[in-house]
Amino acid sequence: MGKESACRDVKLLSVDPCGPEGAAHGCYLLELENPGLEPAVAGQFVMVRPERFGQNPVWPRPFSICRLTSATLTLFVQACGRGTDILCGLAAGDRVTVWGPLGQGFALAPQTPTVMLAGGVGIAPFVEYAATHPVPSNLSLVFGHRQPLSCYPFDALAEIVGRAEAFCEKSPEDLPAFIELLDRTVAAAAAGLILACGPRPFLLTVARLARKYSARAQVSLENRMACGVGGCLGCVEKNTLGAYVQTCTEGPVFWVEELALAEDA
């Protein structure tokens, strides 16, 4: 961690389902005391380890900064395993160790039309991006999801950005239509800036389309991390030079042309 990073035990202020259906689908907003984080760049992340982890799980969990103010840090968490199940089951007042901000965030080009492409929990960093963008009317969002739309902080984004569109993938048969939407979006936005965050197959598709249309694009990887500070080498990604780079320190945000992302890899 650099001088700008902080590692502190803080109090969890609230754990609330995201929307009326959030609890049923494991989608929560966790608000914590700001652990002394310096102003962060949207796309950076924090490592989180609650006291309730005890000795199992051992490793902390990484989360994109969803929203950061001088007083609070908000995370969007979907319960999908032992660690996130525990996190979403915490109560106000529980103690949590947080360190960050970590990694590299998204590029900012205030006067350039910027398209945010998000898949599932990949919507989280774009809440901070839109909230801190100098010209949010230059932003647009295309969001792919499987759970009900109210389970995600989509409305908060839609109220800020110039245009927002959501696509619900209810079955595998919907996937070609979503890829076609991404294709049209990247083609139309190729002269601007494209930012993407979501599951790996989604990012591979975005990378392929960015190359197809020679678009200026960044992707935020969701590689597994154990330490977040470059010590464990568990999150490496192959770059275009054939070497491996650490997602936690050199990412999680990369320019598409930096990485050897391929859908058949």
Pairwise CA distance, residues 34 & 158, whole Å: 25
161 three-state secondary structure: coil
12 three-state secondary structure: strand
pLDDT of res. 79 = 96
Confidence check: pLDDT of 4 > 70: no
Give the model's confidence band at 3: pLDDT under 50 very low, under 70 low, under 90 confident, else very high: very low
Confidence (pTM): 0.94
pLDDT tens digits, 44-58: 999 999 999 998 899
Proportion of the chain above pLDDT 70, given as a percent: 97
Sign of torsion over alpha carbons 127, 132, 133, 137: positive
pLDDT of res. 204 = 96
More confident residue, 36 or 145: 145
Pairwise CA distance, residues 160 & 134, whole Å: 11
pLDDT of res. 21 = 97
Which helix (H) or strand (E) element contains residue 141? strand 139-145
Give the model's confidence band at 231: pLDDT under 50 very low, under 70 low, under 90 confident, else very high: confident
Proportion of the chain above pLDDT 90, given as a percent: 84
pLDDT of res. 263 = 58
pLDDT of res. 232 = 82
Q: Phi, psi (5° rounding) for residue 15?
A: -130, 110
Give the model's confidence band at 224: pLDDT under 50 very low, under 70 low, under 90 confident, else very high: confident
For residues 113-120, give the mean pLDDT.
Answer: 98
Pairwise CA distance, residues 246 & 225, whole Å: 10
Mean pLDDT (the chain) is 94
Confidence check: pLDDT of 69 > 60: yes
More confident residue, 166 or 240: 166
Pairwise CA distance, residues 50 & 95, whole Å: 6
More confident residue, 139 or 224: 139
Q: In what order do the strands lie in the sheet with 216-220?
A: 163-168, 139-145, 114-119, 193-197, 216-220, 253-255
pLDDT of res. 222 = 87
126 three-state secondary structure: helix
pLDDT tens digits, 74-98: 999 999 999 999 999 999 999 999 9
What is the token pair recorded at 122? 């990949």
pLDDT of res. 264 = 43
Length of the chain equals: 265
